[in-house]
Amino acid sequence: MGTPTEIIFRKMTPADIDAVNELDEKCFGDDAWSVGFLTSEFRNPNTKYLVGEINGEIIACSGIEIFSDEAEMTTFAVDPDFQGQGLGKRLLEETICLAKKFGATSMIFEVRCSNVPALHIYQKFGFRKVGRIKNYYIDSEDALTMSGEI
């Protein structure tokens, strides 16, 4: 297992799509994006995707879509084998940097009501609940909409 200091963050490339799909399935189960959806997301000119690599293995991924001065975070995940080592916080810092680089001054995203680890990290970075969407997920769980200045 790697340590947090070994992680390298870089832009996602088309060659990463299969590995990101595997990571997505490990992290999100039934909510995982298909290869086709990932490919179309990657081709969207307004989206930017990041991967985190340890020893050449993709163990983290995040994405944003830029809407003028607001970025919507579309995905955010760390491989379960590498969670709890501070990499989620590193990934969120990198994602915020990326959003700022493309002119965003705020970020918005959805999260499952029950996702305690994700809610913990988002609140730690100053994101706050601004809404709730009923039956948002495939299993009918509600989503919380989180937002904050970056």
Ligand X SMILES: CC(C)(COP(=O)(O)OP(=O)(O)OC[C@H]1O[C@@H](n2cnc3c(N)ncnc32)[C@H](O)[C@@H]1OP(=O)(O)O)[C@@H](O)C(=O)NCCC(=O)NCCS
Active site residues: 110, 122
Q: Which of 74, 83, 145, 147 is in the footprint of ligand X by CB under 6 A?
A: 83
23 contacts ligand X (rule: CB under 6 A)? no
In the numeric block, which tokens belong to residue 116? 């305690």
**Cα–Cα distances in angstroms (integers) from residue 118 to residues 74, 75, 138, in the given order:** 14, 11, 18
Instruction: With CB under 6 A as the rule, give the number of residues binding ligand X.
Output: 20
Residues 105/149, Cβ–Cβ less than 8 Å: yes
- Closer residue to ligand X (CB): 98 or 121: 121
Which range touches ligand X (CB under 6 A), out of 35-43, 44-52, 112-120, 127-135?
112-120
77 contacts ligand X (rule: CB under 6 A)? yes
Identify the three-state secondary structure at position 112: strand
d(CA 94, CA 37): 23
27 contacts ligand X (rule: CB under 6 A)? yes
Identify the three-state secondary structure at position 118: helix
2 contacts ligand X (rule: CB under 6 A)? no
Least Å distance, CB 45 to ligand X, is 24
